Amino acid sequence: MADKYNEPILNSKVISDDTAVKLAVDKIIEEHLAENKNADVYKFLFNCIDLTTLKSTDSPRSVADFTERVNAFDNEHPDLKNVAAICVYPNFSQVVRTVLDVTDVKVACVSGGFPSSQTFPEVKIAETALAVEGGADEIDIVLNLGNFFDNDYEEVATEIDEIHHACRGARLKVILETGALKTAENIKRASILALYSGADFLKTSTGKEYPGASLEAAYVMIQCIKEYHEKTGRMVGFKCSGGVASTAEAVAYYTLVKEILGEKWLTNQYFRIGASRLANNLLSDILGEETKFF
Task: Tell me the C-alpha distance between 248 and 252, whole Å.
Answer: 6
Residue tagged active-site, from 50, 137, 140, 285: 140
Residue tagged active-site, from 124, 203, 258, 285: 203
Residues composing the chain: 294
Given a cut of 80, is residue 3 above it in pLDDT?
no
Task: Tell me the C-alpha distance between 223 and 170, whole Å.
Answer: 25
Higher pLDDT, 50 or 209: 50
Active-site residue 43, yes or no? no
Residue tagged active-site, from 106, 124, 239, 258: 239
Q: Which amino acid is at 157?
A: A
Beta carbons of 268 and 84 less than 8 angstroms apart: yes
Active-site residue 140, yes or no? yes
Task: Tell me the C-alpha distance between 33 and 86, whole Å.
Answer: 28
Q: How confident is the model at residue 276 (pLDDT cuts 50, 70, 90)?
A: confident
Given a cut of 80, is residue 1 above it in pLDDT?
no
Q: How confident is the model at residue 77 (pLDDT cuts 50, 70, 90)?
A: very high
Mean per-residue pLDDT over the chain, rounded = 96
Active-site residue 239, yes or no? yes
